[in-house]
Structure 1
């Protein structure tokens, strides 16, 4: 059976056709897989499990049904939905994994990550990531009203888009040394991540001068990217054309 990896769907009420594409993907393909891995940014923004959201309801229903059909779903937090918590994971019947995580697929250990932690050249983001992952910051944010959190997310998204446009491309991509460190730390030959929205399969030099493989998943804004791993190898494809 095939193991599926997806990332960066950025599901949002403003793009209902992508939510429909995801639900159809779960019902028609994922239901026949051995497992589904979602490597972060399933949602465009996540302001807390207590916020009502029709898109999140549809996704939870689809994934809970997938679980009932015997297909496990594993989830890593992204930079847009790192506040997704245990309550929503239980609704969707997803298993939350730390980032990075080691998984075994077709007898091979592989490291999976959202990918933002590999972009260490973007120093302001690195600092914000460290701060926003602390329990104190998250408690303070979640103590705000839903309306306040919605407004914060809206302003943060606009600022993020402005800031990203001002950066050079290499700053928003992964750092080669950070990639090599992951290979060395986990003693694996393959790394799968998303975040950069630049789908490709890269040969990566490792610390022992051997060659590893870094697979980058695409986003679902336009690409609808999915990685299929099975007995015959792996295939990185677009769902949207």
Structure 2
């Protein structure tokens, strides 16, 4: 069994999400072959050298899961793209490129965070290209810690304000971009997060039936996609206990 989650936006101000995640790690994820976290794991990340005690506790929890035998994979999101190899080494996880094609029970599956699919949001795409430039990343990682924290607060504030003002279709994926990138990587299944709109979309790629699975964000409830030899099942679970409370959607 393989589990995929995204968009937890972990922060000290949301102890309910933190507790649910720690329960998820100690219970359900322990029986998984692998856990994939597809971005926006943390609400903000200003550098591996600036780990708070709270973030270190999350790192240690991931390490415990990894040491128990579950492979852990982490992908950058738009909130935590400064996570680096130091954190991954301490957490016992592998940092995945966005996008990545992974074999799930004999099928190549495309994994992405999902923000790069929102090409109609031209202002964000310009900012994304700038922030992900290797030179910009080097500069950001070498700024004083106080400057990084101030910049992170500014970016979060601006992002929230702009998202409220933008049309829903602008902040969702671009319909034409989905089949384009799936054809580029030669896959029939795409899994991503970012949009906070959990769903399973049936697609047609040429003559082939395909699907796009959108992982849900953790807010009032958690979301996980379970993959095994019988197929894929997307379902939500209650924060009180990480047992499934909504029927999954078998594919």
User: Normalising to structure 2: TM-score of the pair?
Assistant: 0.92
Superposition pairs for residues 66-215 of structure 1, below 5 Å? 66-206=65-205, 208-215=206-213
In structure 1, how many angstroms separate the alpha carbons of the residues matched to 2:184 and 2:221? 31
Give ranges in structure 2 of 5+ residues lacking alignment: 240-251
Structure 1 distance, partners of 2:67, 2:26, is 12
Partner of 2:222: 224
Q: Quote how far apart the aligned CAs of 1:152 are.
A: 1.3
1:24-78 CA deviation, whole Å, 9 max, x = no partner? 1011011100100000010001100011312311211111111111110011110
Is 1:51 matched up with 2:50?
yes
SS of structure 2 residue aligned to 1:50: helix
SS, match of residue 11 in structure 1: coil
Deviation, structure 1 residue 240 = 2.9
Number of positions where the alignment pairs a residue of Structure 1 with one of Structure 2: 239
* Conserved? CA contact 1:204–1:213, under 8 Å: yes
Contact 1:8 1:42 in 2 (8 A): yes
The two structures have a TM-score, normalised by structure 1, of 0.96
Structure 1 residue runs of 4 or more that deviate by more than 3 Å after TM superposition = none
- Report SS of the residue matched to 2:21: helix
Deviations 1:156-196 (A, max 9, x none): 11111000000000000111111011211111110000000
